Amino acid sequence: MIGMYHFLTVAALLFSMGLLIALSKRNAIGVLMGVEIMLNAVNVTLLTFSRFSTTDTPVAGQTFVVMIITVAAAEAAVGLALAVSLYRNRQTIDVDQANLLRS
């Protein structure tokens, strides 16, 4: 039988993988993909606690998941817009060369 600890282990592995990807990539798209994986790991955790809770309102976890998906979509749109802007100005999407905001 698959229990709560199995889901939490998968979520922890996903979050660790996303963190590793976000910290190791120099490409802006790769960093965004790592952040998206981390947000999905949080979604798995919230749905796990929503599924295995014994409270009267298990829908609260699912509501948070919908809000996180909305924030992730907005984050992806803004991040891709920044990547396109960086590419137009610098002809690269390497985050090490993203010094446009320095004074």
Q: Which amino acid is at 75?
A: E
Instruction: Tally the residues of the chain.
Output: 103
What percentage of the chain exceeds 90 in pLDDT? 39
Provide the pLDDT for residue 100.
61
The full DSSP string for 9-25 is HHHHHHHHHHHHHHHH-
Cα first-last separation, the chain: 57
Distance (Å, whole) CA 35 – CA 51: 24
| Residue boundaries of the structural domains of the chain | 4-97
For residue range 39-73, list pLDDT tens digits in order: 999 999 989 988 888 877 778 888 888 998 999 89
Residue 103 has pLDDT above 60, yes or no: no
pTM of the model: 0.80
Q: Which CATH class is domain 4-97?
A: mainly alpha
